[in-house]
Amino acid sequence: MIGLLLIIANISGGILLGLATLDKWDGESNFFNKIASFLAPFQTIIGCALIVLAILTFWGNILFSVASILGGLLLLTHVFGKVPALETSLRKLSAKLMPFKAIIGIGLIAIGLWGLF
């Protein structure tokens, strides 16, 4: 059950993070923009789910769990200002990860699809 929730969170988070690249691949239909506009209000929930579920299943596959945690950190960037004790370190980490946002997003989609099969 936890694995299925992590797969759904990976695919959803990957769509939100990799939207710029997916939009280029999509062309004129705006399919991924419509999905992302539906998922955008749940960005914080998806980010929390990615981190918590990846920690719960960490030893199952460490590489996939690390990618999920990184994706969750990128999705929670806007929330870091509300955690005063960790704000500076979390903002530095997310600033270092930001250039790889699309790559991590596409990776999360691949991990999610791989987990389905």
List pLDDT tens digits, range 59-108.
Answer: 888 888 999 999 998 898 888 777 777 777 877 888 888 888 889 999 99
Q: Cα(9)–Cα(76) distance, rounded to whole angstroms?
A: 13
pLDDT the model gives residue 3: 86
The counts of H helices and E strands in the chain are 7, 0
Q: How far is CA 22 from CA 28, 53, 84, in A?
A: 12, 25, 34
Question: Biggest alpha carbon distance in the chain?
Answer: 44
Prediction pTM value: 0.86
pLDDT the model gives residue 49: 94
Average pLDDT, the chain: 87
pLDDT the model gives residue 86: 76
For residue 9, the SS3 value is helix
